[in-house]
Amino acid sequence: MIKEAVATGETVEQAFEQACEILGVESHEAEFEILEMPVKKTFGLFGGSPAKVRAFIKSSPAQSAAEYLKKVVTAMGLHDIEVSIQEEESGAQLSLTGEDIGFIIGHRGETLDALQYLAGLVANHVENTYYRITLDIGNYREKRKETLEVLGRKMAAKALKTGRNCSLEPMNPYERRIIHTAVQEVEGAKSWSEGEDLARHVVIGPEEGERPQRRNNNYRGNSRSRNGQKGGYRHNNGNRPARNDASGHAATGNTTPRRDSGDMPLYGRIDKKN
């Protein structure tokens, strides 16, 4: 991406300085091209023309992203914000400094991530190759990285102890990579990603998979008898299960026929049929 400005002056030097002022850069930061040399007036009175110079600067992807961020934070009501650029392999890290800029981070870095995404789009319009932009404020990225590493190892240990998978909250690709790397340090644990788009999250579990849960075989107090009554069989003084006799009375464990009085025969009279 090239920014340029054209200016005139009595001399080439004056025209170049004027063009740099239009660009908002110092003269040592720009290159220039002479479009027209100055022509002196004849006899100091007639004709003549000023020098015309084209000054230009080649913006790198990081510089374009930094300029874009300055415009955005200014629109958010922040002033005197500085953007430092640290070039990295196939990208750059931009760090914002200034007063009262903490709110730009947002809840768990959501606002910071959004600005980083937009700055990355601007940077990748400069050149055809992929250029990665990382945006940071007050060393937030490093602190967040340490927190995620601790979380990843802790949840991996929990998964191994319980034998169950643990699902984490949705995270962006950068934070999910941190979790995956931390889990690899815990022997016997593994991690993978599930979900789509904003719901994509990391799941951590044992390498052999989840252990089957033990079933409770103790049914005391919860079993049911064949007639559907809770509590199982009902016992009478340690004898056999209670039954009903022909008269509908509950029979005891004693199987001897019951007499109602001593005057009555053991059995009723049986008449012969005619």
And the tokens for 171?
């995270």
pLDDT recorded at residue 23 = 86
∠ CA 14-17-20 to the nearest 5 degrees? 150
pLDDT in tens, 199-254: 999 999 999 888 887 665 554 444 444 444 444 434 444 444 444 444 444 444 44
The residue with tokens 């009478």 is: 236
Query: Which tokens hold the place of 71?
Result: 């415009």
Could you tell me which residues are beta bridge partners of residue 194? 201
Q: What are the residue ranges of CATH 3.30.1370.50 in the chain?
A: 142-206
CATH (residue range 61-138) = 3.30.300.20
Mean pLDDT for the stretch of residues 179-187: 96
d(CA 27, CA 17): 6
Comparing CA positions, the residue from 44, 37, 47 lying closest to residue 10 is 37
Alpha carbons 227 and 236: distance in angstroms, whole number: 18
CATH 3.30.300.20 in the chain is located at 61-138
Q: List pLDDT tens digits, range 131-176.
A: 899 999 988 999 999 999 999 999 999 999 999 999 999 998 989 9
Q: Which residues pair with 167 in a beta bridge?
A: 203
CATH superfamily of 142-206: R3H-like domain (3.30.1370.50)
Q: How far apart (Å, rounded) are the C-alpha atoms in residues 178 and 67?
A: 29
pLDDT single digits (tens) 8-26: 999 999 999 999 999 888 8
User: Which amino acid makes up residue 242?
Assistant: A
80 three-state secondary structure: coil
| pTM check: above 0.85 | no
Q: What six digits make up the tokens of 159?
A: 């998964």
How many other C-beta atoms lie within 10 A of the C-beta of residue 263? Answer: 6
CA 259 to chain centroid = 84
